[in-house]
Each structure stands twice: as C-alpha cells, then as structure tokens.
Chain A
C-alpha cells in the first residue's frame, strides 16, 4: 500500500456553483444581509467622488487675480496710541523685488494722513471750481503695474519724475470726473492742501486696488517733500501663477533684511490647500460614517453567515459524509459571505456613483471620478465579506461530522 494518499478535491467552477446555490437559496435574506455593505460602500464612494468633484470645481473657479498677488505691510508693535511699525518698508521695492523669481511687478504705496482738501486751479476753468476731500497716495514707479492699473489719458510718472522730485500727480478717473478734468494738454494743476501739483495722467482702472481710482497719486519723493509722507504702508507684488507662496516667503527678507519678521505678508492660499480644506471638513465625517456602515455591514454578514451555518448543520454533516474535507466546508461558507460582500460592493459602488452624478448635476458641476474608485469598491466589499465569513467558516469546519449529521436532520 505505498500509493499516495488520495486527497478530496473541489473544482473551482463547482465551488462557484455551490456558492451561488447557497446564496440564492434564501434571496431575501441575502439581499437584506448585503444592505449594510451597500450603504457603507455607497457612502464611501459618494463621499470620495463628491469631494473630488467639489475639489475640481474650486480649482476650476480659482481666482487668477487673487492667486498672483502678494502684499507686504509693516506689523504694528504695541497697542493703542503707542503702537508703531515693527519694521519699516523701503521705497525702492522694484530694485529689491523684481529680480526675485516669479515676480512680475512690484510697487510701494503710502497714504497721506492729513492732505487737506483737493482743489483745482480756479484760473483754468472758473465754472468748475470745487473743493473736496479726496484720499491722496504717494507711490513708487512700479505701483501702476503692480496693481494692474490702466492709464486712460496722459501717463504715469517715471523714474525721472521721482529723481527730480517733480510735483506731478496722477488722478483717478472718478476724481477727474468730479473736477471736470478730461484734457491734459493744458497741464492742469490741482492743489492738495496748499501744495500745487501738475496732473500728468488719469488712472482709469486699478483692479488690485480699486480705491486708487477715487484718489490722487503722487510720486513718493514729492509726497515726502510736500505731504509729510515718510515710509510706504504697503508693498504690492504681482507674481506669475503658482509663484505667490514662494515670493511671499522671500519678499520680507528682500525688503528689510534686518527686520523681516516685523513685516506682515498676505498671500493667497494655494489651490491645493483650498481643496484639502474642503475635504478635511465635511468629508471626514462622511468617510467615518461610511467606514462605520461597513463595519456594521460586516457584522451583519458575519451574523447571518453564522446563523446559516447553524441552520445548515445537517448539510455540513452530509457534505463531510460525501467526502468534503474541513477546508472544503470552510471554503464554501467563506465563498458565500465573500459573494454577499462582493454583490454589496457592486451595488454600493453603483449607488455611490449615481449619487455623485446627481449631486454634481444639481450644482451644475462636472462630476469627477477616479477610475480606481468603481473598481476598488467591489473589491472592498468582497474583503468585508471575506473577513466577516472567517469566524462562521471556522465554526462550520470544526464541526464533527457525526455530531453534525445527528444534530441536523
């Protein structure tokens, strides 16, 4: 008797057959059993998909103007009347910043604190003599580009005006309207308080600093001489897309190497972070809920499979009598629970995707779906079923055939 000992065999196709027969023997029960897995997988798929879709929208709507702007101002130290700037800003910001990688333009600006009211020179146009309080700013040459300003008539002041400390001014389009100034060929003058300035340009638009259109801007040297302005309040920087955060890191050192930490930098949150923030808040809750439903689903499958094992004690005994080994018994119940998990995963993925499309449709978003999601979801369901089936399968395999046959008739 030296022949190799026979082993019981079970073909894969037959295992599949037995599994389907076992699951479909009680279709209503199987359907209810998979419900937890369906809910869990559906909420996971929907949450991941919707956050992905919403993230895509935020990136899509992302504001190009805001994303390319960096502003630097001085922090104030102390409080109340004793507060003062913790660090000073220089006027020659173009020299310091324009060489940094990613900087398109930069300019400094300061507001005059008590400029007095603005008047036109009465000789020019007697009918239009008015007097108004208008904000007055001193700026550097680069300010126009830094705020993406546009000159409608005339010109912006240049390095020559600054160097010669010329008393020239650019007035905002709104101010020009109020004072009836539309032509510059006769070199109109305006009084700011008691100081007279020649108007050389009309500022039509300043998208980054819309207030400038209602103001008067003079070169910072003239501001220092005539308006008591000393230091810039703010430095405005235009960057290329994606460089804002880098520039924001480097600008303070470039502007004031000795007291960089005294400067306050405002930079846009980068798009990736915006997306993360959206996902962080609500979605973690939903992911948690999804995971909890999956666990509940697994417990449901485990519970029902255990009940099924007990109900089918006689069948287990019979199969052992027909030559099934313990592992065949375990395999059959494992396959049944895995099949229920898999079906739950497939249905859950479908429900989840329908939810994504529905939500996206109701908000006129474009649904964004990672390809791995509908593929991984059924797999996850199958794993849930497999894990849930472990304990019942072991119980089934451990039954003694004699006891099983006697117990289940």
Chain B
C-alpha cells in the first residue's frame, strides 16, 4: 500500500506511529430486515490509506452500492466497526454524521445529481452550503474547482446544456469542493461514452496524483484497470484482487 502525505489530514489528530488510514472497516455487516433478510455486506474488512485509488468490482446485486453508502455515512452498518479518518462512526449521531459527511466525503453518482434550475457554478457551490462557509469563499472555490476539471468557461451555464461528460466533471468539481478525505464514486462512467469516460478517468488520475483518496465502483474493466488497487465484491463479501 502506498503511503502519501495527505495535506487534508494535517489538522487531524494522528497516531504517533504513522499515517491514520482514511477507512478502516472491521467485520462490517449490513443486513436488510426484509423477509427473508438480505445480507448485503458480510464480514467486510477494508483498509484504505490516504492517497489510494481503489476500484471495487463485482456483479450487480453483490453489495457494492451498499458498501459505498456505509462508507459515505449515508447508511449504518448493522454490525462491525467503521473508522473514518480515525473516528469511530458508530458513536456519531444523525447530525454529526451529516456534518462529517459534508466535511470528509465527496460523492460522485452515476446519474450526476445536478440541479437543473441552478447554474453550473451554483451547483458546485452547493457543496459547502452546509459547512457554513461564506458565499464569497464558496464562489471562489467553486470557480477554482471548475477550472481544475477544465470547465472554467461554463460557470453560468445550465447543466441541461452540458454533455454527459461535462456534467460528470461538474459533479466531480462539486465533490472536490469541501476538500474531502475520500472521493466515493458509484459507477461514475456508467452513463458516459468512451471519449467522456476517458476524460473522467484522466481527471481521476490527476486528482490521485494530487494526493486525493479515491474509491470507485465500476462494472467496466477498463475503468478498474486505471486504479492502483482492485477489490472484488461477491455476495456481500470482499476480496482483494491480486
């Protein structure tokens, strides 16, 4: 596992011995209380260090999205422990989870989730809305982030007028805005053609080079191949791919 100094973690208390992993899952279960119950995650162990670029592959219905929801604090595991940046997330209440989610996690969705009635710039600015940063700061950083993804010339556009690839880059800019510890992407290229997929993957490479920790769920072997590490999910169980 590579160890990259992560500037994002500078303010966090560290174990004196070394780097605090971004993610530590220990024997995590997620059982949906349906009839019969669905064991979407079964005894999952995962450690992700700062700066890693991990691809999660596996068949549909194997539990990849469930894992991502747990990692993104959108869902609570029914068993096991999850430490995010060294914080035991089980101890967090609903509001604290929302705050940590806003601060530490950036989400990129297959369907972009852009608001059609807001401009590109405003969509990106939404990201720090619930961190309480001032509007002017958010605007500055939104412009920066959009320039970082190569869309500095599209600030006032409506997302409706953008191509799929551009939309996903806006969504990535939005995810980058809070300077998250972890970028979580669920099938980020699932709705894109090959040219746009390539652009998004290039962008991930750049971000990774800048030290961002990225976790990508994908069907696409080409996408998975770009990651430095691959794990496979089968029937709710996670296995490292050699």
**A388, B99: Cα distance in complex, Å:** 29
Contacts of A319 in B (CB 8 A): 126, 129-130
Contacts of A8 in B (CB 8 A): 95, 98-99, 102, 130-132
Contacts of A9 in B (CB 8 A): 130-132
Q: Quick check: which of B2-10, B114-122, B192-200 contacts chain A, the rest being far away?
A: B114-122
Decide: B130 and A5 in contact? CB cutoff 8 A: no
Q: How far is the CB of A324 from chain B (nearest CB, A)?
A: 5
| Selected contact of B113 from candidates A1, A25, A318, CB within 8 Å | A318
A321 within 8 A of B: yes
Contacts of A405 in B (CB 8 A): 74, 109, 113
A10 within 8 A of B: yes
Decide: B100 and A322 in contact? CB cutoff 8 A: no
| Selected contact of A321 from candidates B13, B72, B94, B103, CB within 8 Å | B72
* Closest A residue by C-beta to B92: A5
A119 within 8 A of B: no
Decide: A401 and B74 in contact? CB cutoff 8 A: yes
Contacts of A314 in B (CB 8 A): 111, 113
* Closest B residue by C-beta to A4: B96
Q: How far is the CB of B161 from chain A (nearest CB, A)?
A: 16
Contacts of B87 in A (CB 8 A): 1
Interface magnitude class on chain B: 35 or more
**A358, B115: Cα distance in complex, Å:** 45
Decide: B135 and A13 in contact? CB cutoff 8 A: yes
A323 within 8 A of B: yes
Contacts of A18 in B (CB 8 A): 129
* Closest A residue by C-beta to B97: A325
Given A6-B99, A21-B118, A402-B69, also A321-B131 (CB < 8 A): no
Given A315-B115, A320-B74, A323-B102, also A5-B129 (CB < 8 A): no
B86 within 8 A of A: yes
A326 within 8 A of B: yes
A14 within 8 A of B: yes
Given A6-B103, A323-B99, A326-B94, also A317-B113 (CB < 8 A): yes
B62 within 8 A of A: no
A362 within 8 A of B: no
Q: How far is the CB of B96 from chain A (nearest CB, A)?
A: 4
Q: How far is the CB of B26 from chain A (nearest CB, A)?
A: 17
Decide: A321 and B129 in contact? CB cutoff 8 A: no
B93 within 8 A of A: yes
B107 within 8 A of A: yes
Decide: B107 and A321 in contact? CB cutoff 8 A: yes
Decide: B135 and A10 in contact? CB cutoff 8 A: no
Decide: B130 and A322 in contact? CB cutoff 8 A: yes
Task: Among B96, B98, B113, B122, find the residue whose CB has the most chain A CB atoms closer than 10 A.
Answer: B98
Contacts of A401 in B (CB 8 A): 74
| Selected contact of A7 from candidates B99, B107, B111, B127, CB within 8 Å | B99
* Closest B residue by C-beta to A1: B87
Q: How far is the CB of A408 from chain B (nearest CB, A)?
A: 8
A11 within 8 A of B: yes
Given A6-B103, A18-B129, also A323-B92 (CB < 8 A): no
Interface magnitude class on chain A: 20 to 34
Given A21-B118, A402-B74, A405-B113, also A322-B127 (CB < 8 A): yes
| Selected contact of B96 from candidates A7, A10, A21, CB within 8 Å | A7
Contacts of B135 in A (CB 8 A): 11, 13-14, 17
* Closest B residue by C-beta to A324: B130
**A26, B99: Cα distance in complex, Å:** 30
A409 within 8 A of B: yes
Within 8 A of A (CB), among B62-111: 69, 72, 74-75, 86-88, 92-96, 98-103, 105, 107, 109, 111
**A21, B125: Cα distance in complex, Å:** 13
Q: How far is the CB of B141 from chain A (nearest CB, A)?
A: 14
Q: How far is the CB of B164 from chain A (nearest CB, A)?
A: 13
Within 8 A of B (CB), among A313-353: 314-315, 317-328
**A11, B127: Cα distance in complex, Å:** 14
Within 8 A of A (CB), among B13-47: 13
Contacts of B122 in A (CB 8 A): 21
Contacts of B111 in A (CB 8 A): 314, 409
Within 8 A of A (CB), among B174-194: 174, 178
**A209, B135: Cα distance in complex, Å:** 81
* Closest A residue by C-beta to B13: A1
* Closest B residue by C-beta to A406: B65
Contacts of A14 in B (CB 8 A): 129, 135
Contacts of B99 in A (CB 8 A): 5-8, 323, 325
Q: How far is the CB of B113 from chain A (nearest CB, A)?
A: 5
Task: Among A8, A401, A405, find the residue whose CB has the most chain B CB atoms closer than 10 A.
Answer: A8
Within 8 A of A (CB), among B128-174: 129-132, 134-135, 174
A sample of 17 inter-chain contacts (CB < 8 A) reads: A1-B13, A5-B95, A5-B99, A6-B99, A6-B100, A8-B131, A9-B131, A11-B135, A14-B135, A17-B135, A321-B74, A321-B113, A322-B129, A323-B98, A323-B130, A323-B178, A324-B98
Query: Hey, which bits of chain A sit against chain B, CB under 8 A?
Result: 1, 5-11, 13-14, 17-18, 21, 25-26, 314-315, 317-328, 401-402, 405, 408-409
8 nearest A-B residue pairs (beta carbon): A323-B102, A9-B132, A25-B117, A323-B130, A409-B111, A6-B99, A5-B96, A325-B98
> Other CB < 8 Å A-B pairs besides A1-B87, A8-B131, 17 of them?
A1-B86, A5-B99, A8-B95, A8-B99, A9-B131, A10-B129, A21-B122, A318-B115, A318-B126, A319-B129, A321-B107, A322-B102, A322-B107, A322-B129, A322-B174, A325-B130, A402-B69
Query: Hey, which bits of chain B sit against chain A, CB under 8 A?
Result: 13, 69, 72, 74-75, 86-88, 92-96, 98-103, 105, 107, 109, 111, 113, 115, 117-118, 122, 126-127, 129-132, 134-135, 174, 178
